Structures are given as C-alpha cells and as structure tokens.
Amino acid sequence: MTCEEFAIAGLELRASADNGPLQQAAREHLRDCPHCAALHENWRALRDHLHALGVESRDAEPASRVEMRLLQEFRTKHRTVRTRRTAAVAVWALAAAAVLLGTVSWINWRRQEATTAARSHGLVKATGTAQSNPNPPSVTGPAAMELGDVVVAANSGDFAILPGSIPPSLGDATVVRVQMQRSALSALGLTVNEEHGADWIQVDLLVGDEGLPQAVRLPQSTD
Amino acid sequence: MQIDLQERDDVLLRRSAKGDEDAFAELYRRHHAPIYRFALRMTGNRWAAEEIVQEVFMTLVREPRKYDPQRGALAAFLYGVARNRVMKHLERLPRELSLENADGTPRSQAFTTDPVTPAHWAELRERREQVRSAVLELPVEFREAIVLCELEEMSYEEAARTLDCPVGTIRSRLHRGRALLLAKLEMLRQVPKRANAGH
C-alpha cells in the first residue's frame, strides 16, 4: 500500500476493525511509514474530538416553542381551508336554492297563466243529463284545433263554454246533439278553419233553460 | 421495518394533509431531532437551527404533496429540505460562529462547571472548540459529509441516500474534509515528511 492509498483507505482503520486484506495492508504500511503512522495518530485524536462533539449535541432538541408555533400554524392553515370549504358549500347551496326557487316560481306562474286563460273561456264540467249521452266525446283531430285555445278535457262530459255565455246551472241544462257545418261554429263565437268550413260535424250543445246554447263539446270527429 | 416505517410516515402525512393534528405532531416528534442536530452542526447556531427546523416542517404543513413516497423515505426528503435551508442560511451569513455551545449554554459558562480536573478539562474543551470551529469553516459539501458520517455517525450508504449522491462521492468528500480538518487544526505539522512519496 502506498501513502496515497493509505490516506484514502487507511484512515478508516480502527483498532477493532476486521482483518480484511485492505486492513492488513494498511496495518503493515503503518508499521513501515512514520509519516502515515503520525497522520493516523492525529486522525484518531481528531476523530475522538469529533465523536465527543457528536455526543455533546446528541440530545440537542429545538425548544418546545418551535413545536407550538408549528401546531399553531397547522391549526390556522386547516381552519382557513375548512372555513373556505364551508363557505364554498354554502354559496353553492344558496345558488342551487335560488335556481330551484326561480324554477318553481316560473312553473307556478305558467300554471297560473294557463288557469287564468282557461277560466276566461270557462271550463264547465257537465254532469246530470250530460252523463246520459251514449257517445262519450273525444276531442281530437282538426275539430279540436277549431276550438282555438279553449281547453277541453279528454274526459267524457267536458264542455267548452261558449264565448259570452254565463256558465249555466247544471241542474237546468240539457245536452242536445246536433249536426252542423263546421262554419256554423263561428256563429257561436268559435274560431273555424275556413278550409274545412263546409264539413259536417256532430257536436253536443249544452242548452240552458232559456233555450240558448251555453257550451259545446265534440263527441267525435266527423272527418 | 424501514418499509413499514415509510408506509407509516406516508399514512401520517396523508392524515396530516387532511387536517389531522395528531398525525402532524407525531411526524414532528419522529423527525425533528435529527433535522435539528444536522442544522445545528451545519450552522453552529441554535437559533438558526430552530428556524430551519420550523421551515422544514412548515413545508409539510403548506405543501405536503411536495413529498413523493416513490422517491424515498420521508426522513431523506426532510434532510433535503433542511440542506436547502442550511445553504440559504450560509449564503446569507457566510461565516457565523455562535457564542453558544451546541446545547445552548454560553461558552464561558461551560468552563466553570467541571470541578474535577479544571486544567485538563479546559485544554480539552479548548481543543474541542477549535475542532468545532474548524468543522464550521469547512466548505459546505465537506462539512455535510463530516457532520453526517462523523458526528451523526451515519454509514456511507445512509449519508449517500441523505445527500442524494453516490457513496464514492461521500468517501471522497470525507477524505478531503478530514485532510482539511487536520490542516486547519495544524495537526499535520508534527507529522514527519514522507521518506518516499511512492512508498
């Protein structure tokens, strides 16, 4: 072993070290070289000092205020995050509630509009004599279209009140089935598609006790 | 065992990231001492070491995702952060010798506490202070190697993992560091000259 090799590997030599070939060569070199022997001796002394320094600070710990400060920071950070999350959830919940409220209001408004329109034309449920009608009315096809925006329920016995008529008292009303040309409906105040004005249709008229038609229904399509 | 420890550190860090204070406290208790010792031995300053420990763990609080378990143990990650902080500190204060001992007691106080062999103790103490100063004067890369392998008594492999460099680098840094220390402490003076360089 040369002095350079010893400087690199030989300084690791310890009294209780193993007896590998490198260690043996280093020991032999130590015996023969006073320079490396002195160097090794100095290194051992220095290592003792280093070891003592290590031992001296082995139990060194930071002051407890460091941990307290860190925990405080930890709490602050996570409290802020939690607050932000809660605020975000609250904002989204409020937004959803506002949208829901708006939707419900709109639907109600639409429904109210439809009800108002229906009321303005009148929706009369015919009972009593009307129930004796053997042909339950069905409102479909072009005939239904002729009634414009008058709402006629698909249930049997539903009459659309004629414009300008006062809802009759049901006990005195009579249902009269008549055949008429479609254009004749215009005389009752209903809108008629002029293209089919010459068609013959069958209608049920609800006639009041004064003999005037009050409401009309289409029991079946004549097309 | 190490894998278990790493997994547990992972679990603790995940819990800590979700706001579990106990998990964070446990992580701190587990890792703060070696980080503090490393910072203390590298800077020679108790206040700076405490500051560095705080900054290291603050990283875990603020950016827990910076740690990637695939890249190594949490301890190595923390050492890495501590190293960066130490470097920054040393850049700010190129050479700052503390007026305190490593344990925080003033140096002058330490001389009066051993009643047994005052003269010998004082000499020993003085020598140790010289060694401490010499270590603090070493270039950072050699100081790291000396601190980890000689003071912290890590194996070369552990030191290499901690500093994220090959074992050979640790060996050569140690070799250079030791030579520098011997030179600084004038321990080479008494050494007789080589009879033959190629000996």
pLDDT band at residue B50 using 50, 70 and 90 as cut-offs:
very high
B86 and B1 co-located in one domain: yes
Instruction: Give the mean pLDDT of B176-185.
Output: 87
Residue A16 has pLDDT above 50, yes or no: no
Between chain A and chain B, the number of residue pairs with CB atoms below 8 A apart is 124
Q: Are B124 and A56 in contact (CB under 8 A)?
A: no
In chain A, the residue whose alpha carbon lies closest to the alpha carbon of B178 is A43
Chain A environment of B40 (Cβ under 8 Å): 57, 60
- Residue B73 within any structural domain of the chain: yes
pLDDT band at residue A210 using 50, 70 and 90 as cut-offs:
confident
Residue A139 has pLDDT above 80, yes or no: no
- Residue B195 within any structural domain of the chain: no
B25 and B72 co-located in one domain: yes
| From A98-102, A143-147, A174-178, the region with the lowest mean pLDDT | A143-147
Are residues B36 and A62, on separate chains, in Cβ contact within 8 Å?
Answer: yes
Could you give the percent of chain B with pLDDT greater than 90? Answer: 27
B68 and B131 co-located in one domain: no
Q: What integer pLDDT is reported at residue B169 of this predicted model?
A: 92
**What is the C-alpha separation between B149 and B156, in angstroms, rounded?**
7
B89 and B57 co-located in one domain: yes
Q: Does B92 touch chain A (CB under 8 A)?
A: no
Are residues A50 and B62, on separate chains, in Cβ contact within 8 Å?
Answer: no
Q: Are B147 and B42 in contact (CB under 8 A)?
A: yes
Strands A123-125 and A174-181: unpaired
Q: Which of A32, A52, A56 is nearest residue B103 as measured by Cβ atoms?
A: A56
A61 closest CA partner among B53, B132, B25: B53
Q: Which of A3, A46, A54 is nearest residue B151 as measured by Cβ atoms?
A: A54
| From A25-34, B18-27, B140-149, B150-159, the region with the lowest mean pLDDT | A25-34
Instruction: Give the mean pLDDT of B155-166.
Output: 88
- For residue A164, what are its two tokens? 């300008």
Instruction: Give the mean pLDDT of A104-108.
Output: 93
- Enumerate residues 6+ apart whose C-beta is below 8 A from A35: A3, B191, B192, B193, B194, B195
Instruction: Give the mean pLDDT of B65-93.
Output: 88
Residues 53-112 (A) with a CB less than 8 A from some CB of B: 53-54, 56-63, 66-67, 69-71, 73-75, 77-78, 81-82
Q: What is the mean pLDDT of chain A?
A: 75
H or E segment and range at residue A38: helix A34-56
Q: What integer pLDDT is reported at residue A223 of this predicted model?
A: 43
Q: What is the mean pLDDT of chain B?
A: 80
Are residues B24 and A74, on separate chains, in Cβ contact within 8 Å?
Answer: yes
B13 and B83 co-located in one domain: yes
- Residue B109 within any structural domain of the chain: no
pLDDT band at residue A132 using 50, 70 and 90 as cut-offs:
very low
Indicate the SS3 state at residue A124: strand
- Residue B196 within any structural domain of the chain: no
Return the CATH number at B139: 1.10.10.10
What was the ipTM of the complex prediction?
0.71
H or E segment and range at residue A21: helix A21-32
Gap from B36 CA to chain A (nearest CA, Å): 6
B93 closest CA partner among B49, B29, B150: B49
Instruction: Give the mean pLDDT of A140-160.
Output: 46
Are residues A63 and B50, on separate chains, in Cβ contact within 8 Å?
Answer: yes
Instruction: Give the mean pLDDT of A131-158.
Output: 43
pLDDT band at residue B58 using 50, 70 and 90 as cut-offs:
very high
- Enumerate residues 6+ apart whose C-beta is below 8 A from A54: B150, B151, B152, B153
Range of the domain at B173: 116-188
Identify residue B147 by its one-letter amino acid code: V
Residue B164 has pLDDT above 80, yes or no: yes
Q: What integer pLDDT is reported at residue B188 of this predicted model?
A: 54
- Residue B133 within any structural domain of the chain: yes
Q: What integer pLDDT is reported at residue A72 of this predicted model?
A: 92
CB burial class (10 A; 0-12, 13-18, 19+) of residue B72? middle
Gap from B185 CA to chain A (nearest CA, Å): 9
Residue A180 has pLDDT above 60, yes or no: yes
- Enumerate residues 6+ apart whose C-beta is below 8 A from B8: none
Tell me which residue has tokens 């290194």. Answer: A43
pLDDT band at residue B79 using 50, 70 and 90 as cut-offs:
very high
**What is the C-alpha separation between B124 and B130, in angstroms, rounded?**
10
How many domains in chain B? Answer: 2
Residue A130 has pLDDT above 60, yes or no: no
Chain B environment of A66 (Cβ under 8 Å): 32, 50, 53-54
pLDDT band at residue A131 using 50, 70 and 90 as cut-offs:
very low
Residue A149 has pLDDT above 50, yes or no: no
- For residue B184, what are its two tokens? 């600084």
Q: Which of A137-151, A197-211, B109-123, B166-180 has the highest mean pLDDT?
A: B166-180
- Enumerate residues 6+ apart whose C-beta is below 8 A from A222: A143, A199, A200, A201, A202
Are residues B199 and A33, on separate chains, in Cβ contact within 8 Å?
Answer: yes
B66 and B125 co-located in one domain: no
- Enumerate residues 6+ apart whose C-beta is below 8 A from B127: A49
B83 and B167 co-located in one domain: no
- Residue B39 within any structural domain of the chain: yes
Q: What integer pLDDT is reported at residue A150 of this predicted model?
A: 41
pLDDT in tens, A53-67: 888 888 888 999 999
Q: Does B193 touch chain A (CB under 8 A)?
A: yes
- Residue B198 within any structural domain of the chain: no
pLDDT band at residue A208 using 50, 70 and 90 as cut-offs:
confident
Identify residue A165 by its one-letter amino acid code: S
Return the CATH number at B50: 1.10.1740.10
How many helices (H) and strands (E) are present in chain A, helices listed first? 5, 5
Could you give the percent of chain A with pLDDT greater than 90? Answer: 14
In chain B, the residue whose alpha carbon lies closest to the alpha carbon of A54 is B151
Identify residue B20 by its one-letter amino acid code: D
Rg (CA), chain B: 20
B162 and B95 co-located in one domain: no
Annotate A125-191 with three-state secondary structure.
ECCHHHHHCCCCCCCCHHHHHHCCCCCCCCCCCEEEECCCCCCCCHHHCEEEEEEEEHHHHHHHCCC
Chain B environment of A78 (Cβ under 8 Å): 19, 21
